[in-house]
Chains A and B, each alone.
Chain A
Amino acid sequence: MFESLTEKLESIFKKLRSRGLLKEEDVDLALKEVRLALLEADVNFKVVKEFIQKVKEKAVGKEVLESLTPGQQVIKIVNEELCSLLGGSNSRIQLSPNPPTVIMMVGLHGSGKTTTSAKLARFFKKEGRRPMLVAADLQRPAAIDQLITLGSQIDVAVFHSKDTKDPVTLCEESIKKAKLEARDILILDTAGRLHIDDTLMAELKHIKDVVSPREVIFVADAMTGQDAVNIAKSFNEQIGIDGIILTKMDGDARGGAAISIRSVTGRPIKFIGTGEKIDMLEPFYPERVASRILGMGDVLGLIEQAQKTFEQKEAEKLQEKILGESFTFDDLKEQLKKIRSMGPIENILNMIPGMNKMKGLTVDEKEFVKIEAIINSMTSAEKRNHNLLNGSRRRRIATGSGTTVTDVNRVVKQYVELKKMLKMFKGGKGMKLPKFLPF
């Protein structure tokens, strides 16, 4: 795995320990690493240069927040800048007031136009619209068949003609057909082409002029390298694009092309393709892609994951303790405390392996407070050995914890029962739950 940028920066800033304001030399040092991370993520070097300059201006002299290290502070600024560069909100595809809304898909060979066209058609169909696909890629062998197959998979009509040689005429006719059939969305799958192929670019321009699409969507492969700027710029200048769909985001490419394309075209990224299946089209979230580009993984996803792992680990530890012979009052208290900090008991129970099947388990949260108080009033020796707990000791504990001797007796009894039960559990003889314990 990539070493995370945050880690790298942390190690640099360990030496500096600069507090207060971010100094220029510290920022420079940090941005050197940021620059490398961006380059490794395939962000175009010119875009990187501008970006670093912008961040530097914002960062130098900025106060380091109390809760952050200087490294984290720089990353925070970098992340914010990246997010704003990637475009604040996830912008939707605009619909025409007069249907059909014509959407024209353009891009290089193999960027994923045909698959994305079908995904988009499915997306609109789910929204209750009546889309139609147009097989306007007359170049690639079997491209028409591919779209027809995809269309039948999602039950969307595909306008095509195997005799037509001219995509302009085909697209023109498709609009008539769409109007006739009262289709409200028309998606044109055009042939992949090089941005420096003048003939084919002129053809694309011609199609655009004839069909006046509501949106021209530039389909770009998330794995694209440094050349992304040239490609996107050419398409935008020659054809004019309204939005971007990034494909193949389910791989492990860092997706720096997103920044390159976004910054040279200024157009929003509308969707990302996250798999080969037709339903794998997701809205674009700048924060997630920004973290990914910085090599911090998908921070949001990671936090979710970490939380899951944490809970899983806690649950396992808990079970281990319960199963252990050396289960003292202290352990009991510790576990109860942890359990209470983890949220509603019923939810926690579901996470403990084997516990999710126990239905109808009700837990009185107040009981925990009492138990804790009782245990707190015990001496260390008593906590380790319950046999010491004679009548006078129990009276002292009750007074100390503000409970009654009956309460103390019950806790001790249940603790003993629990210990017994744990032994049984360990021996695999099945188990019986004591009344007060959630486990």
Chain B
Amino acid sequence: MGLFERLKNGLSKTRKGLVEKVESIFTRGTIDETTIDELEEILIASDVGTHATQEIVDLLREKIKKGEVRDGDSAKNLLKKEMIFLLGSSAPVVLFGEKPFVILTAGVNGVGKTTTIGKLASRFTSQGHSVLLAASDTFRAAAIEQLEIWAKRSGAAIVKHQSGSDPAAVAYDAVESARHKKTDIVIIDTAGRLHTKSPLMEELKKVKRVVQKTIPNAPQEVLLVVDATTGQNALRQAQMFNDAIGITGVALTKLDGTAKGGIVFAIKKELGIPVRLIGVGEDIDDLRDFDPVEFVEALFS
């Protein structure tokens, strides 16, 4: 199965609702206000958000006025183009620079950080990279044990301290150890935290600072893990985490449900942060690179 097919597969549930509705609108032939209203509803229902939706709808309206959009097909193409444009070009995780390549992960509680890290570690080890996991979630009960299980499954090494210890110290030890052992990749798991809790955001900043003591340009990747089920608050999350530690990419999880994850449009539009990865299932290989073109194509095909 090619990547496109796999993506389509993973997105099939996302597709169902949205595509069927869009198809039914576009195949109607004529475009009127009802069509636009319905289109607006579809975007809203996908958690695209009122602002991004308004922008897309306004554009469509303008083109209709100018006579550039007359039928369902041209409207569909325009919408597709617009949504791809909003998402920007494909931006997977790319390893660069000296070893180790440090990936710091962050996000609110329960978005699937540890699971995403486990899958990401498996991907890297299966590609022949050496991977070290840093158990910097020292807060949640049994978070370290959970990461240990993933380390075992993926064949990655792990650096851990006791529960309740300083997350920055764990990250520091991990990066130091990786430097000495010439490990390719370090992935730092952090405790889930609400972006509104400033002491916890300070703690996260400290993790980043401490890592930079060993490797000045690390972490080369700062991944924000976002649950596709989340509504408009995901934008706030992205804003606050970005302010604190400078997010370089988003991992969008739980796309195998019925949630559409439309908030990524707003995150890209407002903050310019691309989606790097999507989680489309519980299996170890259900973490995929996000490709905007394929994503939108799959939505509309």
Q: B-contacting residues of A (Cβ < 8 Å)?
A: 36, 39-42, 44-45, 108-112, 140-150, 153, 194-196, 221, 223-228, 230-231, 248, 250-254, 256-257, 276
Contact = CB atoms under 8 A, between A and B. Distances in A.
A225 B112 contact: no
B90 interface: no
A224 B258 CA distance: 12
B32 interface: no
Nearest to B194: A251
B108 to A, nearest CB: 7
A250 B194 contact: yes
Contact of A227 (B110, B142, B148, B257): B257
B233 A226 contact: no
23 contacts: A108-B229, A108-B254, A110-B109, A110-B111, A110-B254, A141-B146, A141-B149, A145-B145, A146-B145, A194-B257, A196-B13, A223-B108, A225-B231, A226-B47, A227-B229, A248-B108, A250-B194, A250-B196, A251-B196, A252-B233, A253-B231, A253-B233, A257-B231
A153 B143 CA distance: 15
Contacts of A110: 109-112, 227, 254
A271 B296 CA distance: 39
A108 B257 contact: yes
Interface string B155-195: 00000000100000000000000000000000000000011
A196 B280 CA distance: 13
A109 B13 CA distance: 17
**Interface of chain B: mostly helix, strand, loop or mixed:** loop
Given A142-B149, A149-B142, A223 B233 contact: yes
Contacts of A227: 47, 229, 257-260
A231 B229 contact: yes
A287 B232 CA distance: 22
A230 B258 contact: yes
B60 to A, nearest CB: 18
Contacts of A253: 231-233, 236
Given A196-B13, A276-B139, A142 B145 contact: yes
Interface residues of B, number: 43
Contacts of A44: 45
B141 A146 contact: yes
Nearest to A255: B233
Interface in B253-289: 254, 256-260, 263
A252 B258 CA distance: 24
Given A39-B50, A251-B194, A196 B233 contact: no
Contacts of B143: 142, 146
Contacts of A147: 141
A229 to B, nearest CB: 9
A226 B231 contact: yes
A223 B230 contact: yes
Given A40-B232, A108-B229, A225-B263, A251 B195 contact: yes
A366 B146 CA distance: 70
Contacts of A256: 231
Contacts of B232: 40-42, 225, 253-254
Contacts of B28: none
A141 B142 CA distance: 9
Contacts of A250: 194, 196-197
A230 B228 CA distance: 14
- Which among B111, B112, B141 has the highest number of chain A CB atoms within 10 Å? B141
B46 interface: yes
Nearest to A273: B109
A195 B196 contact: no
**Interface of chain A: mostly helix, strand, loop or mixed:** loop
B45 A45 contact: yes
A140 B146 contact: yes
Given A227-B258, A251-B196, A252-B196, A150 B229 contact: no
Contacts of A276: 109, 139
B142 A146 contact: yes
A228 B46 CA distance: 11
A144 B140 CA distance: 13
Contact of A142 (B108, B142, B259, B263): B142
B251 to A, nearest CB: 14
Contacts of B254: 108-110, 194
- Which among B44, B47, B109 has the highest number of chain A CB atoms within 10 Å? B109
A42 B50 contact: no
B98 interface: no
Given A142-B142, A221-B229, A226-B45, A109 B110 contact: yes
Contacts of A145: 141-142, 145-146
B258 A221 contact: no
Contacts of A254: 232-233
B41 interface: yes
A400 B230 CA distance: 71
A226 B194 CA distance: 20
A400 to B, nearest CB: 59
Contacts of B234: 223, 225
Given A109-B112, A194-B256, A39 B44 contact: yes
B44 A226 contact: yes
A195 B194 CA distance: 25
A242 B202 CA distance: 40
B150 interface: yes
B280 to A, nearest CB: 11
Nearest to A251: B194
A272 to B, nearest CB: 14
Interface in B118-147: 139-143, 145-146
Contacts of A252: 195-196, 233, 236
A296 to B, nearest CB: 17
Given A225-B263, A250-B194, 13 more contacts: A39-B44, A41-B232, A108-B229, A142-B145, A145-B141, A194-B257, A225-B229, A226-B46, A227-B258, A251-B194, A252-B233, A253-B231, A256-B231
Interface in B218-238: 227, 229-234, 236
A252 B240 CA distance: 11
Contacts of B148: 142
Contacts of B256: 194
B87 to A, nearest CB: 18
A37 to B, nearest CB: 9
Nearest to B258: A230
A253 B259 CA distance: 17
Contacts of B149: 141-142
A146 B142 CA distance: 5
